Structure 1
């Protein structure tokens, strides 16, 4: 991983990662970088969320105030928003932006939640 910018926004040189999500929205003065290491652990630099969840993960997404991750068991965990993600253990993709997020299930269903999401039509 290579980083540039402020000194607090880069990962240590001795870590190996599998997935990286970079918040580049420009709406906030403190961008964040999230990564999943080869053991499935989350790491975060830049804008400090209240907590970085423990556990193992396979997918991470962040945007503005929100970060969401899919656990290795397929369930969703989100932080930085007031609304909990949907329950279940069949999620394969997640995206997040500002105060909302959407996730795709193994059977192709898309579900969204948060403060400003637009309801999906059938």
Structure 2
């Protein structure tokens, strides 16, 4: 036993009783100075609460993915109803044009469908203004 540390006796413990210190523990040095040296925020620091602009590429990808999902569901229904491949292709093309035209408008009704886990859609919803409807009926 060394300074109250270790075994009273190494007998029956499967060890020889030798005590090693932890060489990899580094004690933090406190200098009394502020962490950033008293200088103001650096670039990128302190922006956690601020909202950033949404990435348009990600929003476009999500829009296209939703269109593709609706088309796959429509294709499954058409196959179940027994349509031929040519009829299915024609109906899918018509549906694609209709969906792209309806979702390309900036006045989407997707505000209720915005997920809390998609920050780009949330940022886009916050940044929209009500008077920006252009070319959509």
TM-score band, normalised by shorter chain: under 0.3
Task: Name the one with the larger helix percent.
Answer: 2
| Rg larger in structure | 2
Q: What TM-score results when the alignment is normalised by the length of structure 2?
A: 0.16
Which is bigger in relative contact order (C-alpha 8 A, separation at least 6)? Answer: 2
More strand by share: 1
